[in-house]
Amino acid sequence: MKTGDGIYIVAPNSQLWGGALTNFSRNPTRRVQIVLGIDYGDSIDLAIETAKKVVEAEPLGLKDPEPQFVVGEMADSSVNIFVRVWVNSPDYWTVFFNLNKALKEACDEAGISIPFPQRSIHIESGEPPK
């Protein structure tokens, strides 16, 4: 077997016989999913509208099935919007990389913050332990 990044894998039949194989090239189309994490203080509607404009501008994205823009989760540091676009299988990585770049640039332009994980540390004053 040859992976998408050019690595050959040899697997004994005994490992393949009872296991599942994932064939990424079997179907003519694949779905690209990008998780767009925005700050809790930012507008979800603005972020989704911004993402829609980016996806509409991507010429390799398919119109059918229709792209999806949903709030997928409320994570520790961000509200995560799932941007899902169907593409022809050979275009998967091109669209994935194009959308990541374009989404970041569009969010910057729209004033949408892409947060990073943060921790709050509370320091208590008092006697040091003996």
- Inter-axis angle of helices 44-57 and 92-110, to 10 degrees? 140
Count of C-beta atoms within a 10 Å radius of residue 78: 20
User: What is the token pair recorded at 60?
Assistant: 């390799």
Rounded to 5°, angle at Cα 87 from 85 and 90: 145
Task: Give the CA dihedral 31, 32, 35, 38, nearest 10 degrees.
Answer: -110
pLDDT tens digits, 15-40: 777 777 677 677 899 999 999 999 99
User: What is the token pair recorded at 116?
Assistant: 């990073």
**pLDDT, averaged across the chain:** 89
pLDDT tens digits, 59-74: 999 999 999 999 999 9
**pLDDT for the residue 129:** 67
Q: What are phi and psi of 28, to 5 degrees?
A: -70, -20
Question: Does the pLDDT value for residue 4 go beyond 70?
Answer: no
Domain ranges of the chain: 28-110
CATH no., domain 28-110: 3.30.70.100
Q: What are phi and psi of 75, to 5 degrees?
A: -90, 180
